[in-house]
Amino acid sequence: MPERKRLTLKDLAAEIDVHYSTVSRVMNPATRHLVADEVAARILQLAEQRGFRPNRIAAGLRTQRSGLVGVVLPDIANPVFPPILAGIESVLARDGYVPIVVNAGADKSRQRFVIDQLMGRQVEGLVLATAERDDPILDYCLKLSIPVVMVNRGEPTGCASCVVSDGLLAMRLTVDHLVKLGHRRIGHIAGPETTSTGQQRREGFLQAVKRHRLRRDDYAVVEAVSYSREAGREACAELFQALPGLTAIAAGNDLVAMGCYDYLREHGIRCPDDVSVVGHNDMPFVDALTPPLTTIRIAVHEMGEQAATLLLKKIGKPEAPVVSVSLTPELVVRGSTAAPR
């Protein structure tokens, strides 16, 4: 049986008696507004009837525009990322772009492989949620001269635009809340020092306890090996050894806080009666934990929107300046914090 001939733009144009460039504009959401509504409606109706689908690969070879953006995540299972992705997608969709989302993990060789694969698919830009301080993958992307924006994590040299939440303010809100309740022995489980979030939240905690004039032996910092529940449980055990008699924990994120819940439950320590816990991110369903988690709410959807907006500006104008956006966090008080006994 002979192979069915692929329907082309020129075929559609001939059927409806318009120039094929008009059909091309209508098939691209970013240029559809350039065609009269009545003509665009006729073309779209015919395309639907005939089952026409634009050949984006061929179009990309002609125009050097694929309409694709790569989004590289460190852990797609982390609940903080879906709302960031939703924000990215909502902005990209308005300009006719589609994200390719990849779970790259923390391994640098895997991340570089992912970047190469995305480049091979002609992505026009990258949103990186994997960036670390002094990150060779970011350096690699910049050498490739592809537009890059970091989201949720930043980097200190100002080489690329980033959209983050204000970690210093977040930890000040956390410590202020705990001190106001009467806590004076407070521990912090920091995220990995290699990440900007881990470093900045650690620094914010230290600034906050010093501002409240807590004595050096009344606070302690322990680093979790990752932003995970199990790492939080292990770090919580270390924290109790480092700061006996602690009454409050400021966790690096909500998954780490959940690990603290696990440790406290295993050792018969009641939250918040014996120890108060504060998380970070306000990920979905932490209000349904027992007790509901007091945490820092970050503007994750807006974070994704702003990252996509910056990337599209960079794609359209490669000489656009580097921009650093820091969004304001909010303390959400629930049942996991109370005055110490």
Arithmetic mean of pLDDT, 75-100: 92
Arithmetic mean of pLDDT, 42-47: 84
134 vs 187, which has greater pLDDT?
A: 187
Arithmetic mean of pLDDT, 68-92: 93
Structure letter (DSSP) for residue 292 = P
84 vs 22, which has greater pLDDT?
A: 84
Task: Dump pLDDT digits (tens) for 21-42.
Answer: 888 788 776 677 888 888 888 8
Q: Answer whether residue 233 is part of any domain.
A: yes
Structure letter (DSSP) for residue 152 = S
Residue 39: which domain range?
9-54
Angle, alpha carbons 54-58-59 (nearest 5°): 65
Q: What is the pLDDT of residue 61?
A: 45
Task: Return the residue matching tokens 């689908």.
Answer: 53
Instruction: Tell me phi and psi for residue 175, to 5 degrees.
Output: -70, -40
Task: Please state, in angstroms and rounded to a whole number, the distance separating the CA atoms of residues 281 and 286.
Answer: 10
The domain that holds 268 is classified in CATH as 3.40.50.2300
CA Rg value for the chain: 25
How many domains would you assign to the chain? Answer: 3
Q: Answer whether residue 221 is part of any domain.
A: yes
Domain boundary among 17, 34, 54: 54
Q: What is the pLDDT of residue 63?
A: 47
Arithmetic mean of pLDDT, 187-206: 95
Q: Answer whether residue 60 is part of any domain.
A: no
Instruction: Tell me phi and psi for residue 73, to 5 degrees.
Output: -110, 150
177 plus 259 within the same structural domain: yes
The pTM of this model reads 0.79
Q: What is the pLDDT of residue 54?
A: 63
Q: Three-state secondary structure along 221-275?
A: EEECCCCCHHHHHHHHHHHHHHCCCCCEEEECCHHHHHHHHHHHHHCCCCCCCCC
Confidence of residue 64 (pLDDT cuts 50, 70, 90): low
For the cut 50, the answer to whether the pLDDT of residue 2 exceeds it is no
Q: Answer whether residue 280 is part of any domain.
A: yes
176 plus 293 within the same structural domain: yes
Task: Please state, in angstroms and rounded to a whole number, the distance separating the CA atoms of residues 48 and 42.
Answer: 10
| Class of residue 277 by CB neighbours under 10 A (exposed 0-12, middle 13-18, buried 19+) | buried
For the cut 60, the answer to whether the pLDDT of residue 281 exceeds it is yes
241 plus 267 within the same structural domain: yes
